[in-house]
Structure 1
Amino acid sequence: MRPLPNSTEASLGRAIEALGGERFEVTLYQWLARCYEIDNTTMLAYFQNRAPEVLFTQSMQPRVHDQIFSTYLAGAYLVDPFYTLHLERAPAGLYRMQDIAPDHFQRNEYYATYYRATTLVDEIAYVAYSAEGVSVHIGLGRDAASGRRFSPRDIAEAERITPIVCGLIAQNWASLKSGGDFNDEALLDVLIAELRAVHDIALSPRQAQIALMILRGHSSVSIALRLEISAQTVKVFRKQLYRKCAISSQAELFSLVMPLLSQKLA
C-alpha cells in the first residue's frame, strides 16, 4: 500500500483528534480533499422514520446546495439513488453515482427538477452505518467549478481509504437515532394509501411498484430485469398506471405522486 504524503497523514490525524467534536466534519473534508481533488461535499444522515439530516456542506459552486433544503429534504430525496442504497441496506463502502443510478436517471423528472441544477458532473459517496436504522453518506462531487469527472486514479485513491472513512463515520455519528422499520414495501404502502385517500386512485401493489421505479429513473427494460417479468408486461402495467392516474407522462406522474409522499414522509 502506498504511504500517504506527510501533509495528508497530518490532516487525517486532525480528523481523528476531532472525533465527536464540532470541527470533525470540516477536518474530515480537509483530509479527503488532500487525498484527491474535490469540488464539494454533502454529508447526510438518512433515517427510517424521518427526512434526512444535513450534517455538513462545502462547495466552491453555490448552486450545488441551493435547493438542498427547499427541494431535496422536502421530499426529492425519496427517489434519489443514494437514498435507495439506504432503503436496501447496501453494504458499507464507496459508491459512484454513475454505477448506482438507474439507466434512465438523466431522463427522469428528479434529475430535471433538482439534480441538473446542482451542476454536478460526477459524484461518489462513502456509505456507513453509525447506528441501527441510520446510514451516513459522505458525498463528494465534481461540479461546474472544475467541470471534470473523477479520474481512475482518483477512484482508486478513494477506494483505498474507504475502510478509514467508514470507520470514522461509525465512530463519530454513533449517537444518531432512528425509529421504525422503513423499506421499499413501506414506501409502496404509503404511496397506495395516499393516492386512494387524496385522489381516489386505487393502484395495485405491482402498479405502485412500477410507478416508484419510473420515478427513480428506470426504463421498461430495467424494470423488467429487476422484477423478472417481460418488458412488454411492464408496458402493460405502465399503461394501466397512467390510465388510472389520468396522466400521459413521467413528469405528470412526478407532479402527482411526489407531493403526497413529501407531505407524508418529509
Structure 2
Amino acid sequence: MKTSDSQFSKPQFSDLQFSNSPFWVSEFAAELIRSLNQPDFGQKLFQILKANLTFDSFVIMLYTNESAPEILHDEIKEKNDVFYDIYLGGAFLISPIYSAYKRGDYGFFPIREIVPDDFYNSEYYLSYYSKSGLQDQLIMISQINETKAVAISIGLLSGEFSQDDITMTRQLYPIINAAVNKQWSTLTKQNNDLSNQLQRAFDLFASSVLTERERTVIQKLMQGHSSKSAAKILGISVDTERSYRKSAYGKLNINSQSELFNLLFSCLGYADNELDCDPLVLFLNQ
C-alpha cells in the first residue's frame, strides 16, 4: 500500500480501515451493503476506499447511449470546471474510458490496460487529458443494462499505483460492481439527445470530403492509436494506413494531429439532430 501523502487526508473512520484484517474483504462488503439505497452512497464508497487506498481524485460517471455522460459523484481537491466542460461537451467521445464502454469492455482496469498504444503522444492527451494532472488511474466499468454503465475513476496526481494497490482494488471490484448495480439499477435521466448528436457528428465528421477508410483512419488516430495499431485493427499494412492518413490531411488542408483535433472540436459545436450531414460542411458555411 502507498504511504505517500495525498491531496486528501484520509477520513477519520478507523472502522472503515479493513486492509489489515484477515476478514477485510467481508468487512468491506458489509460496510458497502449498509450504504445501499442511501443518497450518499457515492460519498460512502469514496470514504471506504479512501480509508484503505491512497488517491487524489474519485469520480463516478453514468454513461448511456441516450445522453452525454453525467457526473454522479466526484471528490477532486482542485476541480477544473473547464476540463469538465470540454469532456462533457464532446471530448468524452474519444476518451479511453468511454471507448471501453462502447466496446462493452466491463470490469476493472489500470488505465494503461485500456489506452491505445500511442495514447500518451496523441493530441487528445497533450491538449486535453494531460491538463487534468492525473498521472495514473484505476478504472471500474459496471454494466447496468444494455445501454447504460457506471464508470468509476480513481486517480493519482503523482506517481503510480503499486501492484498491491491494483491487486487489492481488483479483489474489491466484484463487490463494488454488485453494489453499483444495486444502487443505480433504476437510475434514469432526461434524454436531451446531446450524446446522440455528438456521436453522429463524430461519425459523420469529414464524410463530405473523405472516403470511409480515410475517416476510420483519422478516428483511430484521434483516439490515440499509432499507425501500427490502427493498421492491425483495420487489417491493412502500416504503409497503407499512412497513405490514407496523408490523403486525409491533404483533403482537410491540415498538416498535424493538433490541427485535426482542433478542427474536429470546432465541428462538434455544429452537431444537429435534424440535419444528418457532415458537421464540417456546417462549420465551413457558418
Shared fold (TM-score, shorter chain, > 0.5): yes
Distance in 1 separating the partners of 2:80 and 2:170: 25
Q: 1:212 to 1:256 in 2, by over 3 A?
A: same
Distance in 2 separating the partners of 1:73 and 1:263: 15
Q: Say if 1:8 and 1:34, in contact at 8 Å, map to a contact too.
A: no
Q: 1:38 to 1:9 in 2, by over 3 A?
A: farther
Q: Deviations over 1:61-80 (max 9, x none)?
A: xx454434321101111110
- Is 1:69 the counterpart of 2:84? The answer is yes
- Is 1:171 the counterpart of 2:179? The answer is no
Q: Deviations over 1:57-104 (max 9, x none)?
A: 1023xx4544343211011111100000111111x3101111111122
Give 2:33's aligned amino acid: I
Distance in 2 separating the partners of 1:27 and 1:221: 44
Give 2:182's aligned amino acid: Q
Q: Say if 2:198 and 2:271, in contact at 8 Å, map to a contact too.
A: no
Distance in 1 separating the partners of 2:48 and 2:263: 43
Task: Provide the identity percentage.
Answer: 28
Give 1:75's aligned amino acid: G
Q: Say if 1:130 and 1:173, in contact at 8 Å, map to a contact too.
A: yes
- Is 1:18 the counterpart of 2:35? The answer is yes
Q: Say if 1:102 and 1:216, in contact at 8 Å, map to a contact too.
A: yes
- Is 1:51 the counterpart of 2:33? The answer is no
- Is 1:160 the counterpart of 2:160? The answer is no
Q: Say if 1:39 and 1:142, in contact at 8 Å, map to a contact too.
A: yes
Q: Secondary structure at the match of 2:151?
A: strand
Q: Say if 1:48 and 1:179, in contact at 8 Å, map to a contact too.
A: no
Q: Secondary structure at the match of 2:144?
A: strand
Q: Say if 1:124 and 1:140, in contact at 8 Å, map to a contact too.
A: yes
Give 1:172's aligned amino acid: Q
Q: Say if 2:134 and 2:155, in contact at 8 Å, map to a contact too.
A: yes
* Equivalent in the alignment of 2:94: 79
Distance in 1 separating the partners of 2:204 and 2:250: 18
Give 1:247's aligned amino acid: I
- Is 1:151 the counterpart of 2:165? The answer is no
* Equivalent in the alignment of 2:108: 94
* Equivalent in the alignment of 1:183: none
Q: Say if 1:123 and 1:141, in contact at 8 Å, map to a contact too.
A: yes
Give 1:246's aligned amino acid: N
Larger Cα Rg: Structure 1 or Structure 2? 2
Q: TM-score, normalised by structure 1?
A: 0.84
- Is 1:124 the counterpart of 2:138? The answer is yes
* Equivalent in the alignment of 1:243: 250
Unmatched 5+ residue regions in structure 2? 1-18, 192-196, 274-286
Q: Secondary structure at the match of 2:47?
A: helix
Alignment RMSD: 2.8
Of 256, 262, 278, 1:255 maps to: 262
Distance in 2 separating the partners of 1:212 and 1:262: 17
Q: Deviations over 1:11-66 (max 9, x none)?
A: 65443222222110000111112232221101111111221000111023xx4544
Q: Deviations over 1:212-237 (max 9, x none)?
A: 11111111111111112100000110
Distance in 2 separating the partners of 1:47 and 1:105: 24
Q: Secondary structure at the match of 1:77?
A: helix
Q: 1:127 to 1:209 in 2, by over 3 A?
A: same
Q: Deviations over 1:100-154 (max 9, x none)?
A: 11122112222122211111110011111113301110110111xxx22100010
Count of equivalent residues: 251
Q: 1:87 to 1:250 in 2, by over 3 A?
A: same
Give 2:259's aligned amino acid: E
Give 1:151's aligned amino acid: S
Give 1:256's aligned amino acid: L
Q: 1:99 to 1:36 in 2, by over 3 A?
A: same
Distance in 2 separating the partners of 1:4 and 1:264: 53
* Equivalent in the alignment of 1:33: 50
Distance in 2 separating the partners of 1:236 and 1:138: 38
Unmatched 5+ residue regions in structure 1? 181-185
